[in-house]
Amino acid sequence: MSLGPCEIFEVGPRDGLQNEKREIPVAEKVALVNKLSAAGFRRIECASFVSPKWVPQMAGSGEVLGGISRTEGVRYAALTPNMRGYEDAVAAKADEIAIFASASEGFSQKNINASIEEAFERFAPILEEARHIDMPVRGYVSCVVECPYDGKVAPADVARVADKLFAMGCYEVSLGDTIGAGTPDSIARMLLAVRDVVPVGRLAGHYHDTHGRAMANIDASLSMGVRVFDAAVAGLGGCPYAPGAAGNVATEAVNEHLTALGYDTGVDQAVVLEAAEMARAMRG
């Protein structure tokens, strides 16, 4: 018996590859996105319009969006930290954009060189412009359990940032356990606070598998009503500003797990495994 739909938001081509040391050619990134498009994902994050000085791997994002074979029904997403990034994403025909805030001041300063409040001031004009062209905007919250600089993060702090992103116009808020410190208990406590201010149907879980607990944290989130999870094919990823953060939870493992539980992801596991093979080869 099916437990209903559960969506995997594929972030491998962006969040997964951004930390790789080898300079990956645009053609390889395009091939990976095309393979993932064939797997049945509805949303794939494949670009980041940040300064190439800070994240060199994302320098060819415009070319990636220009080179992929777009599949009907799939939205191709790009990360946009500022107005310049937003304009570049629109020019490259991104289908949706994402902005990212942190629940901890320490990580906000290290990641985007701005306080949490300054970050919101930076995002306001982006959301205003996006509204005029009906561009969907997704919001990310980093460090929803613990921060590599500030230590434990209070659920109330996470709720405050998620509430603000949702109120500003983000259609969905993705909650990131950036260093993989979360446990089912701490994730549940965080979700209880966030659910009070953002409808659970507008939340996504983004769990790193640093300590092998991502799947247990997904189960805790399912029990709280969350039905969207970010994952990166082959478990690619980590964050340049989060020392010791292992990769995102692997898409193929999440898909297998959700399917075994009885959820319908709409994703073809055989094609995902082919994409994982490609992704592993790209790591050099």
Q: Give the pLDDT score at 195.
A: 98
Rg for the chain (alpha carbons), in Å?
17
CATH of domain 4-282: 3.20.20.70
Pairing status of strand 151-152 against strand 146-147: antiparallel
Amino acid type, 134: D
**Per-residue confidence (pLDDT) for residue 237, from 0 to 100:** 74
Give the residue from 149, 142, 148 showing the smallest Cα distance to 81.
142
130's CB contacts (< 8 A; 6+ apart) are 86, 97, 136, 137, 169
Per-residue pLDDT tens digits of the chain, which is 284 residues long = 789 999 999 999 998 888 788 889 999 999 999 999 999 999 999 999 988 887 878 889 999 999 999 999 999 999 999 999 999 999 999 999 999 999 999 898 887 778 889 999 999 999 999 999 999 999 999 999 999 999 999 999 999 999 999 999 999 999 999 999 999 999 999 999 999 999 999 999 999 998 899 999 999 999 999 999 999 999 987 555 555 556 789 999 999 999 999 999 999 999 999 999 999 998 86
Residue 239: active-site member: yes
Encoding tokens for residue 196? 């009070």
> Which of these is catalytic: 143, 147, 170, 239?
239
Write down the pLDDT at residue 245: 56
pTM reported for the whole predicted model:
0.95
